A = this chain, B = another copy of it.
């Protein structure tokens, strides 16, 4: 069966068998959406609560609708909203002690529901299901990652860049001298991949000396996401951008400590070349790929 057929069949099974159960199980007197909201607020607690805007985006709700649900939860004494000290227009929602209790209850119910669903399975089946769902989870997440261009000084991009540097630093036995944030170069473009708003991959292109050559810079994939094909997807995306800009040759450099990256470049059809002009002084491996002129 084709992937789409399997996906569609699974979707039917899933919504029918599990979606339905969920609603009847997690209601607890409240409408399901309100329960979900309570849950979501709780999920952001350690970072000091969520702003209304965050919640709206995460749950994809209308502003009026969300506001009303927040009032409902406040009336029940489960949530309190206070103005964000950093910006008084914003309001952050936080759970009250009673809210924590209610959320814990929800969590318990959810756990119980999951336990009930898998209860009829044998240990071996349960292990197979765990495996299958973990794989599916990773791949569905990977498939729905969003790539978008960001300015070089975008905070999420900066964050990704910092992690990239940290990792080289941590892996680099000889102590890597962080070169600090790069200045914006004309013609360079950076792309950020996010999942649930979290940066999961980053990379960019910049023109090289030769006008038909473009250099790929600062490719990074979040460590939790290695092996999900995100690296090659980002690479293909950047190659497409380079092609749009008329490049027929792509170069890039990397450091020997980034073994997975090197393997990926090999797989993606890059050839090892000598150090090229303009490469990073700390780089140890150099690649190029010549693409057919359009």
Contact = CB atoms under 8 A, between A and B. Distances in A.
A131 B136 CA distance: 9
Interface string A8-24: 11110111111110100
A118 B7 contact: yes
A233 B139 CA distance: 31
A66 B2 CA distance: 33
Contacts of A274: none
A9 B137 contact: yes
A60 interface: yes
A98 interface: no
B137 A10 contact: yes
Nearest to A40: B12
A133 interface: yes
B13 A120 contact: no
Number of copies: 2
Contacts of A1: 130, 134
Contacts of A144: 17-18, 117
B6 A133 contact: yes
Interface in A267-287: none
A5 to B, nearest CB: 8
A17 B115 CA distance: 23
Given A1-B130, A3-B130, A17-B141, 17 more contacts: A2-B130, A3-B127, A4-B115, A7-B117, A7-B118, A7-B129, A9-B137, A14-B137, A18-B140, A18-B144, A121-B142, A121-B143, A122-B233, A124-B229, A129-B135, A129-B139, A129-B143
Q: What 8 A-B pairs come out closest when comparing CB atoms?
A: A4-B114, A132-B135, A17-B144, A132-B136, A132-B132, A10-B133, A129-B139, A10-B137
Interface of A: 1-11, 13-20, 22, 60, 110-111, 114-115, 117-122, 124-137, 139-145, 196, 228-229, 232-233
